[in-house]
A = this chain, B = another copy of it.
Amino acid sequence: MTGGHEQREPALMSTDLYDVVHRRRDVRGQFNGAPIPADVLDRVLGAAHAAPSVGLSQPWDFVLVRDPALRGAFHDHVRTERDTFAATLDADRAAAFARIKIDGVLESTLSVVVTYDPGRGGPAVLGRHAIADAGLYSVCLAIQNLWLAATAEGLGVGWVSFYREPFVRELLGVPAGIRPVAWLCLGPVTHLESVPDLERHGWRRRAPLADAVHHDRW
C-alpha cells in the first residue's frame, strides 16, 4: 500500500473499523501468552458491553477464566469432543480436519466465557415477546464487539465451539437458567493470518458476497 497512507499507525494497531473487520481472524495457533494490560481489557469488555440488546436488557455476563486448572479441564473436554467430531468424517475430510488446530485454551492469556441470562430486563422485555431468541442474538452482538475491539488492540480471539454446554455450566458454576454461549480465548498474538485457518488448511473456501445478496425476495 502506497500513497496517502504514510501517516497511518502500524497495521497491527490500526483502529479503523474496516481494517479491523477485514483483519480479524479466529485465532488458534498464534497466541503468545503475554499479559493483557488492565486498561486494554477494560476497553475490550467496554466495547462488548456497548452492544445493542433487545429491550436494553444487556443479558450478557463475562467470566474471565485465568485459573490454569479450570482451563486445563476445559481443554481436556475439548479434545474429547474433537475426537467425537473426527469420528463422523470420511477419510479425506478427516485428513483435512487433522491439520487444523482447534483451540488456544492453554496458550492464550485468558479465556472469556460469555453467558446469556434470559431473565434480565424482564418480565416484559421490549421486543422479545415475538422472538424468543432475541436475547441470545444480543449476546452475539456483544461478542462481535469484543472480537473487533480485541483485534484493534493487537489481541487475538479464538471462539472454541467443541464443548457441551452442561460441561461448562458445571465447571464454572453457571446458575440454572443461565446459558453459556461462547468460550473465547483472548490474548496477544505473534501475528494474524491473512487467510482463515479453515481455508488455509483446505477445509472450505469463502464464498463471494454476491452469492448472499437478494433483492426484495429471497
Contact = CB atoms under 8 A, between A and B. Distances in A.
A122 B13 CA distance: 36
A31 interface: no
A84 interface: yes
Contacts of A45: 209, 213
Interface in A48-91: 49-52, 54-58, 60-67, 70, 81, 84-85, 88-89
Nearest to A168: B218
Given A17-B20, A152-B17, A214-B61, A203 B55 contact: yes
A185 interface: no
A67 B22 contact: no
Contact of A217 (B141, B159, B173): B173
A164 B130 contact: yes
Nearest to A205: B56
A162 B127 CA distance: 6
Contacts of A49: 209, 212
Nearest to A81: B130
A199 B161 contact: no
Interface string A183-218: 000000000000010110001111101001111111
A218 B174 contact: yes
A36 interface: no
Contacts of A203: 55-56, 126
A207 to B, nearest CB: 6
Interface string A99-142: 01010000000000001000001001011111101101100110
A45 B63 CA distance: 32
A207 B58 contact: yes
Nearest to A96: B126
28 contacts: A15-B16, A16-B16, A16-B17, A17-B47, A17-B152, A18-B43, A18-B47, A18-B152, A21-B47, A24-B50, A26-B52, A49-B212, A58-B206, A63-B216, A65-B216, A67-B216, A81-B129, A81-B130, A85-B129, A102-B127, A121-B204, A126-B203, A129-B162, A131-B161, A134-B161, A137-B181, A172-B218, A175-B218
